[in-house]
Structure 1
Amino acid sequence: MTHPRTSQTFAPPVMEARRWLDGVTHPADRPLLNVSQAAPVDPPPPAMCDAMADIIRNDPAVHLYGPVLGMPALRAAVAQQWTVSYGGTVTADQVAITSGCNQAFAAAIASLCAEGDEVILPVPYYFNHRMWLDMSGVHTVPLGVGPDMVPRAEDAAALITPRTRAIALVSPNNPCGVEYPAGTLHAFADLARTHGVALIVDETYRDFDSRSGAPHDLFTDPHWDDTLIQLYSFSKAYRLTGHRVGAVIASTARLAEIEKFLDTVTICPNQLGQRAALWGMQNLGDWLADQRQEILARRAAITDNFPTLAAQGWKLLGCGAYFAYLQHPFGISSADLAPILVQQAGVLLLPGTMFMPDDVAGGASQLRIAFANVDASDIAVLFDRLAKLHL
């Protein structure tokens, strides 16, 4: 008996977590703190909304099909900005625009893998990456991380087999928040090139990296595109989550294969979203810098307030971008603890079990906080609620 592809993976974790809210009321003096999803809930800034409205009214092409690999102007803008910010050379024909970063990952995997192939993912992993591999018939090979939540290339080397097609990293990391050192990424690039596999680096949260300057030097290698596939999302930078605009930066040969996937799935990326992303790149540099500072302030609030939890036996395993990754002190699985937190603390977050294979230890003691939509005062309240929890 055969089984459909979708039956090979688990239910969407964020949707599952939302069902924990059913039938639960939250008193006025203890409103729900939703730290479950890494997506801004505010709309784009007013100037961008005005620009988008003008585009809808006055640009007839926004309502039509466009190029499969995206608007030439947006591809060129990404190439130019990447060339400047990373200190290497990226050309417009090495950039494709996708319907969100999830689709960028799906397209990359479709261009790399056949059924039965393998992709190495550090664990904890971003669950949608695991879900797509499952539905593609591709085996996820878990790569353990150290106490700093950073994977090591030498550990990955022992996992490479003749079926390995890629190593996929996320930095700044989802779910752990850690920023992978430049040396770590360089070591993985060397490893991937040596073994003839791709290195996928998902930099969805690059705009909120705490470091100044380029986070790595991979693009300075004149032959970067024989190994590197970089993924990006405009959703977090410009609050365009509902418009689904992402990017994949890779070799022209890789993009020719990716084009087949994109043409079959969406035909073209969202036309309004692409124009909004381009407008944002051209006009919102200072605004985005302010948004980065706000996220960094929230990151500081996590570390400043964490002694409240540390006194109760909690540990902060990682923090950065939109995320704090915690180890709880309770003698139950995080899968059971997370629904209890909704009821007893008015907190919705995701358990570490959603970011780990069932046969890999660790997730049961871990929790992810996504702080994109809670400010410093909310973070203090959040930690106070968690500290007062007694099971």
Structure 2
Amino acid sequence: MFLTIDDLDFKGKRVALRVDINSPIDVSSYRILEDTRIRACKDTIEELSSQGAKVVILAHQSRPGKKDFTPLHSHAERLSQVLGRDVEYVDDLFGSHALSTIGRMGEGDIVLLENVRFYSEEVMKDWDSWDNSTPERQGKTFMIKKLYPYFDYFINDAFAAAHRAQPSLVGLAYYMPAVAGRIMEREIKVLSKILEDPDKPSIYVLGGAKADDSIEVIKNVLKNNSADKVLTTGIVANIFLIAKGYDLGPNRDIILDMGYAHLIEVARDLLDSYRGRIEVPVDVALNIDGERREVKLKRGERINYPIHDIGSETIEYYDSIIREGRTVVANGPAGVFENKNFLKGTEGILKSIVRSKGFKVIGGGHLSAAASIVGVADRIDHISTGGGACIQFLAGKKLPVIEVLKKSYRKYGVK
């Protein structure tokens, strides 16, 4: 359980709203190239402002060392356009300029403070994981101690960063009620439903290059019977194919170079423990001098070229399973979809998903981008705003932000 915007009266209250509006940006002009995350937080901001809250937005853009690690003035401009009203940008985080601006705000005003990751305490490695002292340690950082006296409530709508425990994400909850914004509320409810009480049969399609995360999801959803079947693609599929005894040649070397050698044995154990519930491709598309060539997979026959996609027979076979699903969850592309010669598998999976009559969920990140390219994004019931956060949630991991929301409910929850 957690507090939501429905539980409290925000009229006249100063609200610190943490959002994730980290966006693709032109580093030469600071122009926002794609504003999905900015548009996503519109509802929460409008609702709070219309209730008479004084809304102070905390956000980040990229991280130190990256070319797109920039100030947030462009984000404020785009937010103003999306909301149809002025969002005041303050090029300060907790100095006199920021604090005086917060102090003179009127009801309904909206302010965006500077990139929280400009402050060194925000990006310390100490915050890499959850522990029982959170949010006390984060609450005692200099930034939070300077900011907290100016606020009545802390609202967190940054689901995409919910797997992180940085001060701006959890520290204010040490001093005041922490409340889920509308994005956060929707993500927790949807992902909890598909894990705890999915309509059956429940089909998971897991691919992409982050095989370690995907295999943790496979472990969790099969162990808890959240999934009836798991269909594998991408690097994930290659690991399971090797575990089944297929000779993938140079593709095995790629897996070893990625540090995934240990996952082959893990995959072998999963195949043994959950017989008939994990599917692997029956054919693949090879990249031979930039061209697509599909080959049937056979034990004893070596693959000598990079596998960049699943093949047509696999697309058809997976389609027959996906279309019967009453819950379909997908994360990660089936291949190198950025190359049009190898988009076919990802496109086929996505089109199978939208043809399904079940509840459809896809993770954020690359598969979300592919859904937009293929033109099916508006036919997916829920596209998560979080990549890493979504997959860690599905893997059954504790997410610091969500743990803090639960803790706050126990302390301040509506009686």
Question: TM-score category by the smaller chain?
Answer: under 0.3
TM-score w.r.t. the length of structure 2 is 0.26
* Structure with larger Rg: 2
Q: Per chain length, whose mean CA-contact separation is higher, i.e. which structure has more relative contact order (CA < 8 Å, sep 6+)? A: 1
